Amino acid sequence: MAFTRPGAQVGDLQTFKAAFFKALAHPVRIRILEELVHSERSVQEIQAALGLEQPIVSQQLSVLRANNVVVGRKAGVRVRYTLRDQLVADLLDVARQIFNNQLAGTRTLLRELQKEHRQRQSRR
């Protein structure tokens, strides 16, 4: 694990927080979370939605599990994953607002982002 190195000279609480953010800091893991915001999903379903190999998905899920971001519940041969805390959805929303401000000006990403935003609005 990173950050466990001596000399860091910063409180354990910040180390803990950093580990949490680090758990989100990967494109595949972000995509997985965006799936789970909608509802629970099996590994298969995530795999299909993202178009990735099964081991990759399981690996990234295991990072999210290790950091208590998601929980896996066995259902027969399947494992159904959910967000451990629904506040993660809020976190992603605040992040989205920040990106939205930040990207004002850079066109391509902005269009994608606003598409996401419209989808969120119409879901309310």
Footprint of its own copies (CB under 8 A): 3, 8-22, 24-31, 34, 50-52, 68, 84-85, 87-88, 90-91, 94-95, 97-99, 101-103, 108-109, 112-113, 116
- Tell me the C-alpha distance between 69 and 20, whole Å: 8
Closest CA to 65 of 94, 14, 29, 91: 29
Residue with tokens 């494992």: 79
Nearest to 35 by CA among 76, 95, 101, 88: 88
Least separation in angstroms between residue 34's CB and DNA is 16
Q: Which is nearer to its own copies, 49 or 78 (CB)?
A: 49
Size of the site for DNA (CB under 7 A): 32
Stretch that binds DNA, among 43-51, 82-90, 98-106, 114-122 (CB under 7 A): 43-51
- CA geometry: angle 2, 89, 63, nearest 5 deg: 30
Among positions 7, 11, 51, 105, the unique one binding DNA when judged by CB under 7 A: 7
